[in-house]
């Protein structure tokens, strides 16, 4: 009488092992594709933040988002009023939607 180890594996067991390996490989490729897409989005975001930071620190220009997800210098300076310690200041913003800096404020009132 032959034992199981002497006979080897059945065709069904071999096909089941191949199926499990195929699912594992498919999951690995899907995870790699998602990781690649997330890495690309992170690189684009880092590039955009770097561009905004450079504008905020150097040029005094505010960047506006365009419809195609790029940034372009604003045609008019971006102005807002901020309140610090109960005092309101008119400021001109520079930078962009994610990184904002402002010029030395003018005191508007106490």
Look at residue 4 and tell me whether its pLDDT is greater than 50: yes
pLDDT digits (tens, 9 = 90+) for 23-80: 999 999 999 999 999 999 999 888 877 877 776 666 666 666 677 767 776 666 677 7
Look at residue 101 and tell me whether its pLDDT is greater than 70: no
Is the Cα dihedral 88, 91, 96, 101 positive or negative? Answer: negative
Q: What is the pTM of this model?
A: 0.48
71: Cβ contacts below 8 Å, ≥ 6 apart: 48, 51, 52, 63, 64, 65, 96
* C-alpha distance from residue 67 to each of 59, 71, 98 (Å): 23, 9, 16
Among 67, 106, 64, smallest CA distance to 89 is for 106
Rg (CA), the chain: 29
pLDDT of residue 108: 44
56: Cβ contacts below 8 Å, ≥ 6 apart: 94, 95, 96, 99, 100, 101
């Amino acid at each position: 009488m032959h034992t199981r180890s002497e006979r080897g594996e059945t065709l069904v067991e071999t096909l089941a092992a191949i199926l499990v390996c195929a699912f594992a490989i498919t999951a690995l490729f899907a995870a790699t594709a998602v990781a690649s897409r997330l890495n690309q989005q992170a690189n684009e975001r880092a590039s955009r933040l770097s561009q905004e930071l450079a504008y905020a620190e150097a040029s005094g220009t505010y960047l506006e988002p365009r419809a195609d997800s790029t940034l372009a210098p604003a045609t008019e300076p971006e102005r807002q009023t901020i309140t610090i310690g109960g005092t309101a200041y008119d400021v001109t913003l520079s930078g962009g939607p994610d990184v904002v800096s402002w010029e030395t404020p003018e005191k508007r009132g106490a």
